[in-house]
Structure formats: structure tokens, C-alpha cells
């Protein structure tokens, strides 16, 4: 007989892969090396220093500093090129729940797709994950090298 068991959240905070695509038909990706230092750490269940890179996070080129040539999270508070709208390369397609604690990792950046704006992530000036703003969404629409349609 079918049954349902409620998850016991007292054991730990559940988290998983963020879905951001409206459809997987016709998506195009390219790979980049993601700079682990560009992702701000979070505290999960009292464990500080955790790094979780979610799918649908806006990625931008790093143009200065020790990680120049890699990509990182688009952040209005960055000073290494990731704050510039024209440096955006796409939306992250690789879910990394812990690997960035140890090293830089290869990720897939989606540059052509149909996504849901409310399910995409960027980082504000305080390096806090927020829902994709209209300004950033407009930079992902139909610009050179990017063709992301939002629904």
C-alpha cells in the first residue's frame, strides 16, 4: 500500500538540486573552471564554511586577481570582473554540494535555454544569494553569446 513519511527536519536541513529550466529541449552548454574562492561560504546545520553551488546560478568571467580566466558567481559586490553584466557567461548547470570546499571544479554554463527567472540565482552586493533581478535577466537575453529566454 502506498504511504508517505514526513522528513524529520530535526536531523538536518534538507537541501537538493535547484531546478531552473522550463524545458531541457535545445539547451546548449559550454565548460569553464569555477573558482571556489568566488562562492561565499554558508552555514548548514551549524557547520560553517560550507559551499553549495546551485544550478541556475549566474556565472561571470573573472578578469583580475589570482583566479583571472576562470568563472565565478555573478555578484554586485565583486571587484574582480564578476560584477560586470557584459562578463556574464550563462547559468550554472552543475550541482556542487561540497566539492568547492576543497578545490576549483569544472562546471557547465548554459548559454541557450528556456528558464524560469524566479528559479535562477544571483548574489547581491552583500554576497547573499537572491532571486535573479530584471537587470541581470535582461543581460542574459539575446546578447552576444547568450540567448536565454525567461518564462
Spans of all domains in the chain:
21-150
Q: Please check whether residue 127 is in contact with residue 77, taking contact to mean a CB–CB distance below 8 angstroms.
A: yes
Residues 141 and 151: their CA atoms lie apart, in Å, by 12
Residues 39 and 25: their CA atoms lie apart, in Å, by 29
Indicate the CATH number of 21-150 among 3.40.50.1000, 2.40.300.10, 3.90.25.10, 3.30.465.10. 2.40.300.10
Q: Please check whether residue 54 is in contact with residue 34, taking contact to mean a CB–CB distance below 8 angstroms.
A: no
Query: What is the pTM (predicted TM-score) of this model?
Result: 0.90
Residues 21 and 71: their CA atoms lie apart, in Å, by 21
Nearest to 102 by CA among 61, 41, 47, 45: 41
Residues 93 and 74: their CA atoms lie apart, in Å, by 14
pLDDT of residue 46: 84
Could you list the pLDDT tens digit for every one of the 151 residues in the chain? 677 666 665 666 767 899 999 999 999 999 999 999 999 998 888 888 999 999 999 999 999 999 999 999 999 999 999 999 999 999 999 999 999 999 999 999 999 999 999 999 999 999 999 999 999 999 999 788 999 999 8
Amino acid at each position: 500500500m502506498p504511504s508517505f513519511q514526513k522528513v524529520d527536519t530535526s536531523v538536518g536541513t534538507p537541501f537538493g538540486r535547484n531546478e531552473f529550466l522550463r524545458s531541457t529541449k535545445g539547451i546548449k552548454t559550454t565548460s569553464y573552471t569555477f573558482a571556489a574562492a568566488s562562492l561565499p561560504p554558508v552555514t548548514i546545520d551549524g557547520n560553517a564554511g560550507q559551499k553549495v553551488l546551485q544550478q541556475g546560478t549566474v556565472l561571470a568571467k573573472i578578469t583580475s586577481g589570482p583566479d583571472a580566466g576562470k568563472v565565478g558567481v555573478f555578484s554586485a559586490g565583486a571587484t574582480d570582473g564578476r560584477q560586470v553584466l557584459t562578463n556574464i557567461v550563462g547559468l550554472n548547470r552543475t550541482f556542487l554540494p561540497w566539492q568547492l570546499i576543497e578545490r576549483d571544479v569544472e562546471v557547465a554554463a548554459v548559454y541557450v535555454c528556456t528558464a524560469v527567472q524566479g528559479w535562477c540565482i544571483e548574489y547581491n552586493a552583500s554576497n547573499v544569494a537572491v532571486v535573479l533581478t530584471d537587470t541581470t535577466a535582461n543581460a542574459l537575453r539575446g546578447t552576444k553569446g547568450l540567448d536565454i529566454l525567461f518564462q
